[in-house]
């Protein structure tokens, strides 16, 4: 009688090896395509909160080429990016994350199809708008962790546990035109620069013991969130390419490129800061 099988020690390797390798290679691809950029102090109120440690702030950017002029009213492109972002989340994220507790529904909730307004709940209140998109400011949204979960980690942190859970976080979605791309100098020609920023919010003082402990999430959690942010930006880029035929040259989609962005207060909108070497 011939028996087929493998040693028990090899079973975890065979089961976890392929998905682990995929996660590693995909995270490397995303990190090289969208390298982390320092948050810009003049960019948005998202990164002005003192309760956000410096090492918990990240910003990622993608450059998407356009082979034809793009026109639209004020904030039109910004709103479309926000809708593409929420649409991508609603299609690719498990419904258990964005579905209301104890309620079964196949609807993703508000995805900004009718626009954005302050305090507007999105995706069944998973996100909430703080700043609507415009040519002067990016779309800014906040999310919050359950208070009971926050209090649990605050309590165990007061007992000596080395980590603490963030109270929530903020996302920004921004669109700028790169005038250096040589798009003919016309209005709305050239390359659109898409920027996605994320930050964690923490309470400086642990309310349980009244101490400023400086504890945050473990490094692997921060790495997972950064990889998640890059994956979201990658999905938004591809979604916009489909919606508006961005990045097509001779029928072939161009790969997004990472760039650094900054505010330009001399013009009427947001521009790409030209570095001079």
pLDDT per residue over 26-61, tens digit each?
A: 889 988 888 877 655 434 444 444 455 666 666 666
Give the C-alpha separation, 277 to 263, whole Å.
Answer: 19
Provide the token pair at 94.
Answer: 């498990």
Residues 241-267 have pLDDT tens digits of 776 654 433 333 444 444 433 333 223
Alpha carbons within 13 angstroms on the beta-carbon side of residue 80 total 20
pTM score of the predicted model: 0.71
* Domain chopping of the chain, boundaries: 36-253
Contact 202, 153 (CB under 8 A): no
Q: What is the pLDDT of residues 132-165, one digit of tens each?
A: 887 777 888 999 999 999 999 999 999 999 999 9
């Amino acid at each position: 009688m011939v028996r087929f099988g493998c040693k028990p020690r090899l079973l975890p390797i065979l089961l976890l090896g392929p998905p682990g390798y995929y996660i590693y290679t995909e995270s490397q691809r995303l990190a090289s395509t969208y390298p982390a950029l320092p948050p810009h102090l003049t960019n948005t109120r998202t990164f002005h909160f003192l309760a956000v440690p410096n090492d918990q702030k990240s910003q990622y950017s993608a450059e998407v080429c356009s082979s034809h002029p793009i026109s639209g009213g004020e904030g039109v492109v910004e709103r479309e990016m926000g809708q593409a972002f929420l649409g991508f989340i609603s299609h690719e994220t498990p419904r258990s994350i964005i579905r209301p507790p104890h309620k079964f529904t196949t609807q993703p909730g508000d995805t900004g199809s009718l626009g954005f307004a302050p305090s507007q709940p999105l995706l069944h209140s998973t996100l909430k708008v703080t700043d609507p998109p415009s040519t002067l400011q990016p779309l800014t949204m906040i999310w919050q962790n359950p208070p009971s979960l926050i209090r649990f980690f605050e309590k165990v942190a007061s007992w000596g546990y080395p980590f603490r859970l963030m109270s929530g976080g903020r996302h920004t979605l921004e669109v700028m035109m790169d005038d250096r791309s040589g798009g003919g100098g016309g209005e709305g020609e050239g390359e659109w620069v898409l920027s996605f920023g994320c930050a964690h919010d923490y309470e400086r003082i642990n309310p349980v013991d009244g101490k400023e402990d400086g504890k945050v999430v473990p490094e692997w959690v921060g790495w997972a969130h950064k990889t998640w942010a890059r994956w979201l930006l990658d999905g938004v880029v591809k979604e916009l390419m489909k919606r508006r035929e961005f990045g097509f040259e001779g029928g072939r989609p161009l790969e997004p490129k990472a760039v650094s962005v900054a505010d330009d207060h001399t013009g009427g909108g947001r521009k790409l800061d030209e570095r001079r070497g």
